[in-house]
Amino acid sequence: MYFSNEKKPVQSMCSSFREAQVILRFLEDLKNRLGMSYLFVSHDLNVVRLLCQRVLVMYLGKIVEADPVAELFERPRHPYTKALLSAVPAVEKGDRTERIRLLGEPMSPIDPSPNLCRFYSRCPKADAFCQSEMPALRPYTGGAEAACHYPEEYAEPPEEKVRIA
Protein backbone atom coordinates (compact mmCIF):
# COMPACT_ATOMS: atom_id res chain seq x y z
CA MET A 1 0.00 0.00 0.00
CA TYR A 2 1.22 3.45 -0.87
CA PHE A 3 0.05 6.30 1.36
CA SER A 4 0.45 9.91 0.34
CA ASN A 5 -0.53 12.63 2.78
CA GLU A 6 1.05 15.52 0.92
CA LYS A 7 -1.17 18.55 0.39
CA LYS A 8 -0.54 18.22 -3.35
CA PRO A 9 0.97 14.72 -3.70
CA VAL A 10 1.58 14.67 -7.45
CA GLN A 11 2.88 18.24 -7.57
CA SER A 12 5.26 17.54 -4.68
CA MET A 13 6.81 14.65 -6.65
CA CYS A 14 7.43 16.54 -9.87
CA SER A 15 7.84 19.97 -11.35
CA SER A 16 5.97 19.72 -14.65
CA PHE A 17 2.72 18.46 -16.12
CA ARG A 18 4.64 15.92 -18.21
CA GLU A 19 6.40 14.52 -15.13
CA ALA A 20 3.03 14.33 -13.34
CA GLN A 21 1.61 12.24 -16.20
CA VAL A 22 4.59 9.85 -16.01
CA ILE A 23 4.15 9.43 -12.26
CA LEU A 24 0.40 8.86 -12.55
CA ARG A 25 0.96 6.21 -15.26
CA PHE A 26 3.63 4.58 -13.08
CA LEU A 27 1.27 4.44 -10.07
CA GLU A 28 -1.52 3.01 -12.24
CA ASP A 29 0.87 0.38 -13.65
CA LEU A 30 2.03 -0.65 -10.16
CA LYS A 31 -1.56 -0.93 -9.01
CA ASN A 32 -2.47 -3.18 -11.95
CA ARG A 33 0.67 -5.37 -12.01
CA LEU A 34 1.16 -5.83 -8.28
CA GLY A 35 -2.41 -5.54 -7.06
CA MET A 36 -1.44 -2.57 -4.91
CA SER A 37 -3.88 -0.28 -3.18
CA TYR A 38 -3.47 3.45 -2.68
CA LEU A 39 -4.78 5.83 -0.11
CA PHE A 40 -4.60 8.96 -2.21
CA VAL A 41 -5.45 12.25 -0.49
CA SER A 42 -6.03 15.06 -2.95
CA HIS A 43 -8.02 18.18 -3.73
CA ASP A 44 -7.41 17.67 -7.47
CA LEU A 45 -10.60 15.92 -8.54
CA ASN A 46 -9.38 15.44 -12.11
CA VAL A 47 -6.47 13.33 -10.81
CA VAL A 48 -8.83 11.51 -8.43
CA ARG A 49 -11.08 10.67 -11.38
CA LEU A 50 -8.15 9.19 -13.33
CA LEU A 51 -6.38 7.32 -10.54
CA CYS A 52 -9.03 6.15 -8.08
CA GLN A 53 -11.70 3.47 -8.13
CA ARG A 54 -13.52 4.53 -4.96
CA VAL A 55 -13.74 8.03 -3.50
CA LEU A 56 -14.49 9.26 0.01
CA VAL A 57 -15.60 12.89 0.27
CA MET A 58 -15.07 14.58 3.63
CA TYR A 59 -16.50 17.77 5.06
CA LEU A 60 -15.08 19.11 8.34
CA GLY A 61 -13.43 15.77 9.10
CA LYS A 62 -16.54 13.64 8.51
CA ILE A 63 -17.17 11.34 5.54
CA VAL A 64 -20.27 12.64 3.76
CA GLU A 65 -20.13 10.44 0.66
CA ALA A 66 -18.35 7.24 -0.41
CA ASP A 67 -18.85 6.05 -3.98
CA PRO A 68 -17.23 4.24 -6.87
CA VAL A 69 -15.53 7.02 -8.85
CA ALA A 70 -17.89 6.89 -11.87
CA GLU A 71 -20.98 6.95 -9.63
CA LEU A 72 -19.64 9.93 -7.67
CA PHE A 73 -18.98 12.04 -10.77
CA GLU A 74 -22.26 11.06 -12.47
CA ARG A 75 -24.66 11.14 -9.50
CA PRO A 76 -23.41 12.98 -6.44
CA ARG A 77 -25.83 12.29 -3.60
CA HIS A 78 -24.60 14.72 -0.96
CA PRO A 79 -25.11 18.48 -1.51
CA TYR A 80 -21.48 19.21 -0.56
CA THR A 81 -20.22 16.71 -3.15
CA LYS A 82 -22.47 18.28 -5.75
CA ALA A 83 -21.10 21.76 -4.98
CA LEU A 84 -17.53 20.46 -4.94
CA LEU A 85 -17.90 18.83 -8.36
CA SER A 86 -19.46 21.99 -9.80
CA ALA A 87 -16.15 23.76 -9.07
CA VAL A 88 -14.12 21.36 -11.27
CA PRO A 89 -13.26 23.10 -14.56
CA ALA A 90 -14.84 21.40 -17.59
CA VAL A 91 -12.60 20.28 -20.45
CA GLU A 92 -15.31 20.51 -23.10
CA LYS A 93 -17.34 23.72 -23.41
CA GLY A 94 -20.66 21.80 -23.51
CA ASP A 95 -19.81 19.95 -20.29
CA ARG A 96 -19.66 23.14 -18.25
CA THR A 97 -22.25 23.50 -15.50
CA GLU A 98 -22.92 26.52 -13.37
CA ARG A 99 -20.94 26.61 -10.20
CA ILE A 100 -22.91 26.06 -7.02
CA ARG A 101 -22.13 28.85 -4.59
CA LEU A 102 -22.40 27.81 -0.98
CA LEU A 103 -23.82 30.45 1.33
CA GLY A 104 -23.31 30.68 5.06
CA GLU A 105 -20.26 30.11 7.19
CA PRO A 106 -18.75 26.69 7.88
CA MET A 107 -19.21 25.64 11.48
CA SER A 108 -16.20 25.30 13.73
CA PRO A 109 -14.29 22.04 13.18
CA ILE A 110 -12.82 22.35 16.68
CA ASP A 111 -15.93 21.48 18.68
CA PRO A 112 -18.68 20.28 16.32
CA SER A 113 -22.03 19.30 17.77
CA PRO A 114 -22.53 15.51 17.74
CA ASN A 115 -26.25 16.00 16.97
CA LEU A 116 -25.94 18.39 14.05
CA CYS A 117 -25.11 17.73 10.41
CA ARG A 118 -21.74 19.42 9.84
CA PHE A 119 -22.91 20.82 6.51
CA TYR A 120 -26.11 22.27 8.04
CA SER A 121 -25.00 25.93 8.04
CA ARG A 122 -24.26 25.87 4.28
CA CYS A 123 -26.75 23.32 2.94
CA PRO A 124 -29.55 24.61 0.68
CA LYS A 125 -31.90 21.82 1.88
CA ALA A 126 -31.17 21.97 5.62
CA ASP A 127 -34.15 21.88 7.96
CA ALA A 128 -34.90 21.25 11.64
CA PHE A 129 -34.28 17.50 11.26
CA CYS A 130 -30.72 18.20 10.05
CA GLN A 131 -30.19 20.35 13.12
CA SER A 132 -31.39 17.66 15.53
CA GLU A 133 -29.79 14.48 14.17
CA MET A 134 -26.43 13.78 12.54
CA PRO A 135 -27.12 11.83 9.33
CA ALA A 136 -25.51 8.39 9.19
CA LEU A 137 -23.66 7.08 6.15
CA ARG A 138 -26.30 4.94 4.39
CA PRO A 139 -25.94 2.62 1.37
CA TYR A 140 -27.58 3.38 -1.99
CA THR A 141 -27.62 1.68 -5.38
CA GLY A 142 -24.42 1.44 -7.38
CA GLY A 143 -22.21 0.93 -4.31
CA ALA A 144 -22.73 4.50 -3.17
CA GLU A 145 -23.07 5.75 0.41
CA ALA A 146 -24.15 9.18 1.61
CA ALA A 147 -24.58 10.87 4.98
CA CYS A 148 -27.54 13.11 4.21
CA HIS A 149 -31.18 13.03 5.29
CA TYR A 150 -32.26 14.01 1.76
CA PRO A 151 -29.76 12.39 -0.64
CA GLU A 152 -32.26 11.27 -3.27
CA GLU A 153 -33.08 14.90 -4.00
CA TYR A 154 -29.47 15.29 -5.16
CA ALA A 155 -29.18 12.10 -7.22
CA GLU A 156 -29.86 13.09 -10.82
CA PRO A 157 -29.60 10.82 -13.86
CA PRO A 158 -26.17 11.09 -15.54
CA GLU A 159 -27.54 12.81 -18.65
CA GLU A 160 -28.94 15.73 -16.64
CA LYS A 161 -26.71 18.66 -15.79
CA VAL A 162 -26.71 20.50 -12.49
CA ARG A 163 -28.01 24.03 -13.07
CA ILE A 164 -28.03 25.91 -9.78
CA ALA A 165 -27.09 29.59 -9.60
Question: Alpha helices of the chain — where are they, by DSSP H?
Answer: 9-13, 17-34, 45-51, 69-74, 79-86, 128-132
pLDDT score recorded for residue 47: 82
pLDDT score recorded for residue 147: 95
Contacts of 33 (CB under 8 A, 6+ apart): none
Phi and psi dihedrals of 58, rounded to 5? Answer: -115, 145
pLDDT score recorded for residue 50: 82
Q: Hey, where are the domains in the chain?
A: 1-52, 54-165
- Alpha-carbon distance of 133 to 69, in angstroms, equals 28
- Encode the chain (165 residues) as per-residue pLDDT tens digits: 455 555 555 544 445 667 777 888 888 888 889 988 878 888 888 888 888 889 999 999 899 999 999 999 988 999 999 999 998 887 666 666 788 999 999 988 888 888 889 999 999 989 999 999 999 999 988 889 999 998 865 554 434 444 444
User: Residue 3 belongs to what H/E stretch?
Assistant: strand 2-4
- Strand pairing partners for 63? 58
Question: Alpha helices of 6-65 — where are they, by DSSP H?
Answer: 9-13, 17-34, 45-51
Q: What is the pTM of this model?
A: 0.76
* Contact predicate 66/143, CB 8 Å: no
3-state class of 146 per DSSP? strand
* Contact predicate 1/36, CB 8 Å: yes
- Alpha-carbon distance of 135 to 160, in angstroms, equals 26
